[in-house]
Chain A
Amino acid sequence: MEIPRRHQATTTPAFLQEMPGAHSADWEGGQSSRATARLEHEGWLVPMLRTAAEVAHRIASRWGYVLDRPPVTMEVLTAVEEEIRAAGFHLLALPEPQGGLGNEMGATSALLREIATVDACLAEWVLARMLASLPFCGSSSPLPREPLADGWSWGLALPPKEGTESGECRAVVRGWVPGCWVVYASAWRDGKLELALARSPADVEVERTLGLRGCACVSVSVEASSSQPLRNVEQDELDRWQECLWLWRSAIALANARAALHAASAYAMTRYQGGDVLSRHPTIQSLLGEPYARLLASEALFQEAIRRPEFRLWCAVTSGRSGEEACWAAQQALGGYGYMRDYGLEHRLRDAKLLSLLIGNSRQLIQGALRRAWENRLPWP
């Protein structure tokens, strides 16, 4: 098996290089971690987000149509992956010395939101890269040069088959590209949770999902015995990753919903019905206004959750549902146009529903959040 080489990730991501002043010693030198407030103060965050949006627009306008209509060819997946890597999106979650934004949850979430406003699939793709690189943050483990795909959060480690010494791990991988590395956690050896890397086969069938179709989803089977164990992981570490996942996916769901509501508002302000523009009809005002209010509340909680990890589970509970509700209302406001794929809104609802499912069953999340709150005697948000 090929041993992964350490990635030369000390250069500044491409989309940051396009920014004026990005080459300052302060950025490249990998000084102390930079707080979002300071980024804003220095006027870095806004142009950075703008550049990320431009890159996302370029990728989405070139590949978005093809990606939403599977089966997508391996060539297309590889081409989009190259664009994502050239833009530097895959390094977002890495610490600054490795070229990313590190644990700066505010900045990483803001970037994901910016990308999701353009296309939630693209944001989910970038998220897959970020999740896969989480285990390498600040560790000496080598980062493969090839694309990394997440699998750890779904990596179900099965016990070794009877009469054999190998365990099988079945992982659902999002953001899959041919021959990518799958990062997964397996517990087949001595019952300890072990982080491992395995090369995914190149000819896996891509699943046809309800939404986020551009972000290829496959189910791969890897033999635990033949993979490269990196290190052991503790449950606490997995829990921390899960918290990051909740926050990042909430960011995508909220941005997706906001984009849908903006599109519906633009339509309502120009479309005449019953002798007046739609936006003046009380029914449409209620239809769009109520989900918008709930979306704003979820966004407020999201901002709070960036600073306070104990709120991240609550943020996940509300953002998935409110995002789905907002997209439904936006589609309803457009009527027949909202259902037709050429008008670019129907995929928002499909994406929102899948994002809501990926965030987790709201019933289980609520139960989990309350259990945590009661066990740890945490204050109510």
Chain B
Amino acid sequence: MAVTQWSAALGQWMLNRLEPERALHQRAALPRRLKTMVEDARAFAREVAPLVEHADRSHEESTPFAKEILARAGKRGLLTQFIPRWAGGDGWLRDTQRFGHLPMLEVIEALAETSPGLATLIGAHYLGAMPILLSFDLAQARRLLAPLCARSRQGEVAICAFAITEPEAGSDVEDEVGARTARLRTTARKVAGGYRLSGRKCFISGGNLAQLITVFATLDPQRGTQAWTCFAVRRDSPGVEISHVEDKMGQRVSPTAEILFDDVFVPETHRVGAECNGWRLNRLTLDTSRPLVGALALGGARRVLDHVLEHLHRRGDLGQRDVAHEVAELIGRYAAAHALTRRAAERFPPLPDLSAMAKFVATDTAMYIASRALDLVGVEAASASEVERLYRDIRLTQIYEGTNEINRFAVFERTVQGRPLSWPQFV
């Protein structure tokens, strides 16, 4: 018990030290070990590409395909490589200290080159685990994540999911100003030995497959974000029910579910971070994941560009000055967005405004590239082609992790709080 309290206190102290101004800006080339990891991810994506294609074409639920992919990914270490060893994974904390989330960004981008939906499927697991890791409660992280890591190495589907969106609280719960008045309806009631959770969470990536769901709930709806608290809820807890799996426009390989919590008991040991510290954990998690979403979109865009270049080269159109002009524009935009996402991911702890900028610039750029690519290739690209699927997949990146409109507000959030604009720091 004493160890648990000491661990939680240390976690709180670490969390309080995570101020963007403290970040050291380090730029170093990835070592061979991390580069190999990226190559492995790329090879894995190619291996499961037929499953991704099946999931996209099938109008049945994609869950069986997702399970198969997750089982293979677990065996290859893709679901444990960014969870630190002290929490039962295969990752190194010193990698995060040195490179920020750059290695994860590269892996996500490599997966997204085959399918942004595949990258979401894998990435959603790390998003779910992130509040637990970022709370720096070492004993709790080990207790919650080590069994999942062990099971996934054996080829079982054992992942986490991140649950914040609600039917009446979407992008606003991902923005500081909006969250003050957001209608977070999932509530937690303190009872002997823990809490009782009630509410409904929707659009949860991997929600129907996850064993552990990090849920944000409020202890007092009148207190706004000040009462938000994060809980790690086991999916097999009595009262947890998957009510619906969504039929989506794209990223069909990554199932999205609605989860009901009906008076679910959560022991106190499963509270992530301190009571009423949920908003801070939520923001830190999103600030970390937003550059990754940008990279996910750009991975898809890169594949689209490859297709366009190949098509135009085959047709001999690249010799036309106007076509060459347009393609150069696409490549230039891609390169700029790519540089920005990498710069944002290198920072640990993340800089909120830089992360938000990386997300909306990268996803808007990727969507622009996908749309113009279809125009360049023409109607034939819209019929059963990879470009058509990537167009649908990339579209989601402009919506999740806070719509791009909300992310634009996030750029000035710190200014509203009276802090100076941080843009000179990354120029």
| Residues of A near any B CB (own CB < 8 A) | 69-70, 172, 207-211, 217, 272-275, 283-284, 287, 324, 331-332, 335-336, 338-342, 346-347, 349-350, 353-354, 356-358, 361-363
How many angstroms between the C-alpha atoms of A209 and B50 in the bound complex? 19
Q: Are B171 and A210 in contact (CB under 8 A)?
A: no
Interface segment, one of B24-32, B299-307, B374-382: B374-382
**Which B241-289 residues have a C-beta within 8 angstroms of A?**
246-250, 256
Minimum CB–CB distance from A243 to chain B (whole Å) comes to 19
Answer whether A335 and B170 are a contact pair too, CB < 8 Å, given A340-B248, A341-B247, A341-B249. Answer: yes
Please count how many residues in chain B sit with their CB below 8 Å of the partner chain's CB atoms.
Answer: 44
Chain B residues whose C-beta falls within 8 Å of the C-beta of A172 in the assembled complex: 379
Indicate which residue in A338, A346, A362 contacts B375 across the interface (CB closer than 8 Å): A362
Chain B residues contacting A361 (CB-CB under 8 Å) are: 375-376, 378
The reply on B2 being an interface residue by CB < 8 A is no
Q: How far is the CB of B316 from chain A (nearest CB, A)?
A: 16
Closest residue of chain A to B398 (Cβ to Cβ) is A332
Chain B residues within 8 Å of A340, by CB: 203, 246-249, 256
Is the CB–CB distance between A208 and B170 below 8 Å? no
**B329: interface (CB < 8 Å):** no
Query: Is A353 in contact with B398, judged by CB distance below 8 angstroms?
Result: no
Q: List 12 A-B contacts (CB under 8 A).
A: A274-B175, A274-B178, A332-B403, A335-B170, A336-B165, A336-B203, A339-B396, A340-B203, A340-B248, A353-B391, A357-B379, A361-B375
- 3 closest cross-chain pairs (CB), A and B: A275-B181, A346-B249, A210-B382
Q: How many A-B residue pairs have CB under 8 A?
A: 101
When chains A and B are docked, how far (Å) is the Cα of A361 from the Cα of B377? 9
Given the known interface contacts A272-B168, A336-B202, the answer about A287 and B59 at a Cβ–Cβ threshold of 8 Å is: no
B interface, CB within 8 angstroms of A: 57, 59, 165, 168, 170-172, 175, 177-178, 181-183, 202-203, 246-250, 256, 322, 326, 371, 374-376, 378-379, 381-384, 388, 391-392, 395-396, 398-400, 403-405
Q: A273-B182, A274-B175, A284-B405 are in contact. List 4 more A-B contacts (CB 8 A).
A: A273-B178, A336-B165, A339-B248, A341-B248
Query: How far apart are the CA atoms of A350 and B248 in the complex, in Å?
Result: 12
| CB-CB under 8 A for A217 and B383, given A341-B247, A353-B391 | yes
Query: Is there an interface contact between A358 and B375, defined as CB atoms closer than 8 Å?
Result: no
Chain B residues with CB under 8 A of A357: 374-375, 378-379, 381-382
Chain B residue contacts of A332, Cβ below 8 A? 398-399, 403-405
Chain A residues lying within 8 Å of B396, measured Cβ to Cβ, are 339
Whether A207 contacts B383 by the Cβ 8 Å rule is: yes
Bound form: Cα–Cα A272–B167 in Å:
11
Residues of chain B within 8 A of A362, CB atoms compared: 375
Q: Complex Cα distance A239/B322, Å?
A: 25
